[in-house]
Amino acid sequence: MIAIIDYGMGNLGSVQKALAFLGFESEITNDPSTVMAADGVVLPGVGAIGAAMEALNSRGLDKVVHEYIATGKPFLGICLGMQMLFDTSEESFGGEPVKGLSVLPGKVVKFPSDMGLKIPQIGWNDLSSRNEILPDKEFVYFVHSYYCVPENEEDIAATVTYGIEYCCSVRRKNVFACQFHPEKSGEAGLRILNRWAKQTEK
């Protein structure tokens, strides 16, 4: 069973429907014991990172994320769920930068306002993949105003170009995350989800 962490924000239903379409059982939950017992975990998310981190922390789910990752079982972060894995975000919450989960060293920054493109980035773009889970040159769907800057080059699983080239996916050991939405990315996104989810069957 794959647990989809429910902290009050995120595209929970669409992730669950995509997994069900692929034949994988999943449960939307905020129960720590259910999360820890899962064969794989998804941390989804949309919206503001400050509110998301506050919601996650208030439920004690920040600790659960760290404990689960430490088991070595497959973990997937999607969109805001990727951004929360880093140390800090420039996105202000109460006038202060937001502290993330510090699973991966690095920061989250806003797209440059002078790059001549609309912010947020909304729409399809093609991946430059460095990882076997991600198909190279496939188009996937993005919607975001901030992007991740990993401290370690080896954590980068894929990049994409939108005015600038930036990291849109990371992988370290059992942690995999993507800025784009695989559950909204058609057949390419389903292939990515399927490759990740198959790891939960081992």
Using one digit for the tens of pLDDT, what is the confidence trace for 70-128?
999 999 999 999 999 999 999 876 667 899 999 999 999 999 988 889 999 999 999 99
Q: What is the pLDDT of residue 143?
A: 94
- Report the distance separating Cα 183 and Cα 189, nearest Å: 6
Classify 193 as helix, strand or coil.
Answer: helix
Residue boundaries of the structural domains of the chain: 2-201
Which neighbouring-strand residues pair with 161?
Answer: 165
What backbone torsions phi and psi does residue 62 show, to the nearest 5 degrees?
-60, -45
Say whether pLDDT at 34 is over 80. Answer: yes
**Tally of helices (H runs) and strands (E runs) in the chain:** 6, 14
What pLDDT sits at residue 67? 98
Whether residue 180 has pLDDT greater than 80: yes
Residue that wins the pLDDT comparison between 47 and 104: 104
Mean pLDDT computed over 25-52: 94
The overall average pLDDT reported for the chain is 94
**pLDDT for position 10:** 74
Active-site positions? Answer: 79, 181, 183
Q: According to the CATH classification, is domain 2-201 in 3.40.50.880?
A: yes
pLDDT at 95: 67
pLDDT at 94: 64
Task: Indicate the pLDDT class of residue 68, thresholds 50, 70 and 90.
Answer: very high
Contacts of 145 (CB under 8 A, 6+ apart): 91, 110, 111, 119, 120, 121
Q: Tell me, what's the pLDDT at 28? A: 96
Task: Report which of residues 65 and 113 the model is more confident about.
Answer: 65
